[in-house]
Chain A
Amino acid sequence: MSESTMIFLSLLVPLLGSLGIALTGRSPLLRDSFMIASAVLVFLCVLSLLPAVQAGGRPEAHLLTMMPGLDLAFSVEPLGMIFALVASGLWIMTSIYGIGYMRGAGEKNQTRFYACFSIAIFAAIGIAFAQNMFTLFILYEVLSLSTYPLVAHKGTEEAKRGARIYLGILLGTSIGLLLPAMIATWWLTGSLEFQPGGIMQGQVSPAIGSLLLLLYMFGIGKAALMPFHRWLPAAMVAPTPVSALLHAVAVVKAGVFSVLKVSTYLFGLDYLESLWASDLVMWVAAFTLLSASVVAMQQSNLKARLAYSTVSQLSYIVLAAMLASQLAVVGGGMHIVMHAFGKITLFFCAGAIYVAAHKTEIQEMDGLGRKMPVTMFAFLLGALSVIGAPPLGGLWSKWHIMLGAVDAGHAIMIGVLLISTLLNIAYLLPPVVRAFLLPPPKGTPAGVEEAPLMCLIPLSLTALGALLLFFMADPVRALMWSVFVGRAA
């Protein structure tokens, strides 16, 4: 099959999957197997495009032309490839986990839930493969809208309030800031196509370029740059698989992916470096990174703590993009992968703890390690990966970002990253320490009582993935480098 067919298939399968899920809703078994089958199929479709991209190819697919210079078109380049692989691969895990969690927690409206889930994956892959900013923007909005029912899933007042903040900030920033930035770009350069080296050099004056950069960076609300980060903690009311999807796979990664894509393919790193606004955004990112870590330390709810941790980690990637150095961007791309595996493991564990032990607060987790050894061990691995400690994958991405900071002449950012790492340790390890080292509260029955296998297997696999990525980070790095040199070494 041709490459463009495979691109369309990667997009079509989750859509059809969503339809199939909606139609087979009466029979949970059929529905669930349908969902997993489509998840695997999508992953295979995406994977089949990998060799071509590694060899330096850029498979393309053109859907239609809306207006002169405005196309709905897709083109697979290394950065998008990485994001698509992460999203579709982790979707399999999330699907399996979701089945276990939703059954274990006895949630209602599962069919609507899974159907919206599939649409969200469709949007994420579409974002990854978007050939131009316009296509990306459309799918970005689809992603916001399709995840709204997921966040509001419980239908309680609290859930609705959270979902309103979620959608309000995401739609507000995208229509209020991103859309004008995009239209202005089109008007100034006559194109919205993602091109290596950017399209703005020589076409847009630095003053306007700086303004556009601010609009883009704050407009991509999914990257959760302060002050537009509030939606992320607000979305914590969602069931845990959603949190995993939102905060590790689809939504936030779509945000930082867009940031990287806009920086490298619309602005171009050279042009970006010449803008005063890139320094400003870099400092905002540094501020977000540190302050979100501090806030995370004060959260007693495990999911809320993880949410603020995500806000902080996303800023690593924004920071990497704003350093405007190739090394840092490579690090940023790698961080998409590394953080995805680490954070999804942590969320899976939080959900497993909720399903098996009905606990959400950190101070309740004393001695939990004896009851749920596998879960807590996976949590430890995930935490270490997010912290960036060896022997886990998170080390490499931070390493590259720091090298990039030196390269770009912003060595002070190394200090920021180091402080943040210390803070990471301070807020991610206490739950583990409590679970393993403190005695359980009196009157707790002894013995192992883990979450259902459907939950346990995915979280073990993602933890293992985080571990393996330490040893096998090179393919990811090579793929990221090919953004700049054309083909993977």
Chain B
Amino acid sequence: MSLIEHLPILVVLVPMFVAPLLAAVPSRGQLPWLIATLTSLLTFVVAIAIAAQVLAHGTLTYELGGWPPPFGIGLAVGPLSAMMLLVITGASLMALLWGPASMNSEVGHEHQSLLYASWLLALCGLSGITVTGDAFNIFVFMEISSLASYVMVSAGPKRQALTATFKYLITGTVGATFYLIGVGYLYMMTGTLNLADMAERLATVSSTAPVLVASGFILVGLALKAALFPMHAWMPNAYRFAPTPVGVFFAACSTKVALFVLIRFDFLVLMPNLPGHADMLVSVLMPLSVAAMLVGSAVAIFERDLKRMLGYSSVAQIGYILLAFSLLSTAGLTAAIVHLFNHALIKGALFMAVGTLVLRTGSSRLDDMAGIGKTMPLTTLAFCLAGLSLIGVPLTAGFISKWYLIVAVLEHGALGWMLLAAILISSLMAIVYVWKVVEVAYFRSPPDNNTGGSPAQRSEAPLGMMIVLWLVVAANFWFGLDTSLLLSLADMETTLLLGSRR
């Protein structure tokens, strides 16, 4: 067996084994950060190798301990999993490379090795969810990543981080437990936990009522984890009070993993075998996602704190993804997958830009950003460019997402035109809240007697931060021009999930 065959398990094992070692490392200087970054880099490289393998040979499978599924735990890395792996490991690497200065200013050195150990555990859990083909395994990895996330959020510099964490913990646990109940019912009806096997056996199950209940539990559980409106209440504060690099990492990828599980479950297991499930999904998810798009954007307009504003913007963006998903068509699924990826790029860049501003101003309140365009021109420009991508201006990654989403909704006739109107209203609101920041940053003069020192003393952030920030901003434009990688992965996945049905 060559190394290549072990790739899917490596991406989980590496951070899992480094994490306890890291916790034992003396928490001084930059050593914990360095170890975490190198580990993250390694997983990123593995993720790239996996993506290359998947592109070349299709879905990779792996049998833990040599036990063939459905008896053992099987890993299955399809195109969508490969993409999610890229997003997760990439987001982690990006946030770590960007973060040391910000982390040092917010978290004491004595806590850092434990914090970074949790970081690696979260990375391990999130990657694990994407590679596994086993429903219960998903629960375990979900809880590994969630527990690590609670710890990281609670390490935030303000004491509100604790109450935010508590809310997050309660919501997350309730969500995971709901999911567990759903899986339990499915196991009862099919006697298997392997997703592919479950799909086959479900076809022969005669009484579908328990399965319908199971799908409801799973949907609610994952929606809680994914911060789908109206179950989003935990998210904005968790983003705001977490240490900023943690916020960057989560904003880019954590809620999307729950969406990923939802896509896998619904398209692979439930939809082909459960009559009425498709209607249920449409009637529940579509109104909720439209409401998320509109309410999230509207609240973001009135939000005075930049990090919370980005949180509410994420609520809206998750609405886009779920709307695309709820169309249950090839075009819709493509749009959902494309936006899963692009939104990670967009939110990552925006959150990093805000984090860079916070590092210098010491506050994430909008009013404290007055005139920041003069003192930190490069960072503000990066925010504007990433904001353009969020709005969906052509040549950016956000535009590609909008394009596919609109094409997907147009397939639905009169309903499609109404959805189109909702998408556009939400986009226009995105213009408003991005522009609100632009105006404060460029056209409002900074206050004279600022406690944080006179404006002239403020200057650009450290070079390292700027490089990472601009690389991600550049990626927003790169993936706005070159869509081939993303589209070929999305194509492969939609063929896998829907190909046989068309």
Contact = CB atoms under 8 A, between A and B. Distances in A.
Do A's and B's CB atoms come within 8 Å in the complex?
A: yes
Interface of A: 64, 66-67, 134, 137-138, 141, 152, 155, 160, 164, 167-168, 171-172, 175-176, 179-180, 183-184, 186-187
B424 A180 contact: yes
A138 B443 contact: no
Contacts of B402: 179
B302 interface: no
B420 A171 contact: no
A228 to B, nearest CB: 14
A72 to B, nearest CB: 8
Interface string B459-502: 00000000000000000000011110001000000000000000
A67 B420 contact: no
A183 B431 contact: no
A67 B483 contact: yes
Nearest to A135: B394
- Residue in B393, B400, B427, B481 with the greatest tally of chain A CB atoms within 10 Å: B393
B428 interface: yes
Contacts of B420: 180
B431 A171 contact: yes
A175 B407 contact: no
A66 B481 contact: yes
A183 B391 contact: no
B439 interface: yes
28 contacts: A66-B400, A66-B480, A67-B400, A67-B403, A67-B483, A67-B487, A137-B394, A138-B395, A141-B393, A155-B443, A160-B443, A164-B439, A171-B431, A172-B428, A175-B391, A175-B424, A175-B427, A175-B431, A176-B424, A176-B427, A179-B402, A179-B424, A180-B406, A183-B403, A183-B410, A186-B407, A187-B407, A187-B410
Chain B contact residues, majority secondary structure: helix
Given A138-B395, A160-B439, 9 more contacts: A66-B481, A137-B394, A141-B394, A160-B443, A168-B431, A175-B428, A176-B424, A179-B402, A183-B406
Contacts of A152: 443
Nearest to A176: B424
Interface in B379-400: 391-395, 400
Nearest to A70: B403
A152 B435 CA distance: 14
A175 B392 contact: yes
A442 B487 CA distance: 75
Nearest to A156: B443
Contacts of B406: 179-180, 183
A68 to B, nearest CB: 9
B184 to A, nearest CB: 43
B386 to A, nearest CB: 15
Interface string B425-437: 0011001000100
Nearest to B424: A176
A371 to B, nearest CB: 37
A464 to B, nearest CB: 40
B432 to A, nearest CB: 9
Interface in B55-96: none
Contact of A183 (B395, B407, B439): B407
Contacts of A171: 431
Given A175-B424, A180-B420, A180-B424, A66 B483 contact: yes
A186 B439 CA distance: 35
A183 B394 CA distance: 12
Contact of B428 (A64, A155, A176): A176
A168 B432 CA distance: 9
Closest 4 pairs (CB-CB, A-B): A138-B394, A183-B406, A176-B424, A187-B410
Contacts of A180: 406, 420, 424
A175 B392 CA distance: 9
Nearest to B331: A187
Nearest to A64: B481
Contacts of A187: 407, 410
A21 to B, nearest CB: 17
A176 B426 CA distance: 10
Interface in B411-453: 420, 424, 427-428, 431, 435, 439, 443
A164 B431 CA distance: 12
Nearest to B431: A171
B58 to A, nearest CB: 22
B131 to A, nearest CB: 29
A183 B399 CA distance: 12
Contacts of B428: 172, 175-176
A168 B420 CA distance: 20
B38 to A, nearest CB: 36
A167 B431 CA distance: 10
A164 B482 CA distance: 32
Interface string B264-304: 00000000000000000000000000000000000000000
A141 B480 CA distance: 15
Given A180-B406, A183-B410, A172 B395 contact: no
Nearest to B410: A187
Contacts of A167: 435
Contacts of B424: 175-176, 179-180
A64 B410 CA distance: 26
Contacts of B482: 66
A175 B391 CA distance: 9
B491 to A, nearest CB: 11
A238 to B, nearest CB: 15
A469 to B, nearest CB: 35
B319 to A, nearest CB: 18
B483 A172 contact: no
A138 B388 CA distance: 12
Contacts of A64: 481
Nearest to A67: B483
Contacts of A176: 424, 427-428
Nearest to A155: B443
A423 B89 CA distance: 67
| Chain A CB within 10 Å, residue with most, of B392, B394, B402, B427 | B394
Contacts of A168: 431
Contacts of B410: 183-184, 187
B419 to A, nearest CB: 11
A67 B403 CA distance: 10
Nearest to A163: B443
Contacts of A138: 394-395
A165 to B, nearest CB: 12
B431 A172 contact: yes
Nearest to B480: A66
Contacts of B400: 66-67
A203 to B, nearest CB: 15
B309 to A, nearest CB: 19
Contacts of A66: 400, 480-483
B440 to A, nearest CB: 11
A18 B194 CA distance: 60
A184 B423 CA distance: 14
Contacts of B435: 164, 167
B477 to A, nearest CB: 12
Contacts of B427: 175-176
Contacts of A164: 435, 439
Contacts of B487: 67
Contacts of A184: 410
